Amino acid sequence: MKKIAFLGLGIMGQNVTANLLKAGYDVTVYNRTPGKAGRLLAAGAKEAATAREAVAGADVIMIMVSDDAAVNAMVFGENGALAGAHAGQIAIDLTTIDPKTSLKECAAFNAKGIEFLDAPVFGSKAESRDAGLWIVIGGKKEVYESVLPIFKVISATTHYMGENGKGAAMKLVGNMIVAYQLHALGEAMTLAEKAGLNPRDVLGVFEVTDFKSPILSGVGDALCRRDFSPSFYLKLM
């Protein structure tokens, strides 16, 4: 079974790593902010002091950080992943980033003889915890197929979109749909409240119409419960 270096231990990264460990993978983790690996170490993970150290003995490098700047630091920094990576490895970036950043990353890994997949995910805390993410992938199809067993233990579905950069582009397309739905839901529920409608009755209509969606149902339910805790931050979109 492949050895994995997992870089980035935010909420999503921790959950994904936990699922890799449950599946029996040998995982070495690294996070730029220390103190995030506790429960993963208890589950069998090893922790490295730098990204460079983490990737040195890995077959597969997985990156899941917040944004383009974090990817640049994690990959291109002095003790970043590229400094310790070597030919024959496969790098997979699960981060939502600009396709241009993804292609820059791809070129840098390829120059060292490392295959690269851009594989951003749809889903939030619950989906990452329950191995229910939806992954969109760009890169060589044969490379995608070679790591499909890894994707299967962290996701509900995977979608091969084409050459490198296509996964990153698809994630932005999807994020636009999500943003519009959330904006429309907020406006609609405000209108409903001003009209004196019961919000649960409103959601009941949403559930049976042709514009129903898991986003409207899930976020709408949270609104009815007055639960405004974030499951995904706007700055990451």
Looking at the chain, list the stretches that DSSP marks H as alpha helix, in order from N- to C-terminal side: 11-22, 38-42, 51-55, 68-76, 81-84, 99-111, 125-129, 141-146, 148-152, 166-194, 199-208, 214-224
* Residue found by looking up tokens 């979608």 in the block: 159
Give domain limits for the chain: 3-163, 171-236
User: Would you call 122 helix, strand, or coil by DSSP?
Assistant: strand
171 given a catalytic annotation: yes
DSSP 86: -
Count, residues in the chain: 237
Catalytic residue among 22, 125, 171, 235: 171
Separation between Cα atoms, residue 91 and residue 109, nearest integer Å: 8
* pLDDT tens-digit profile, the chain (237 residues): 789 999 999 999 999 999 999 999 999 999 999 999 999 999 999 999 999 999 999 999 999 999 999 999 999 999 999 999 999 999 999 999 999 999 999 999 999 999 999 999 999 889 999 999 999 999 999 999 999 999 999 999 999 999 999 999 999 999 999 999 999 999 999 999 999 999 999 999 999 999 889 889 989 999 999 988 877 777 777
Topology annotation, domain 3-163: Rossmann fold (3.40.50)
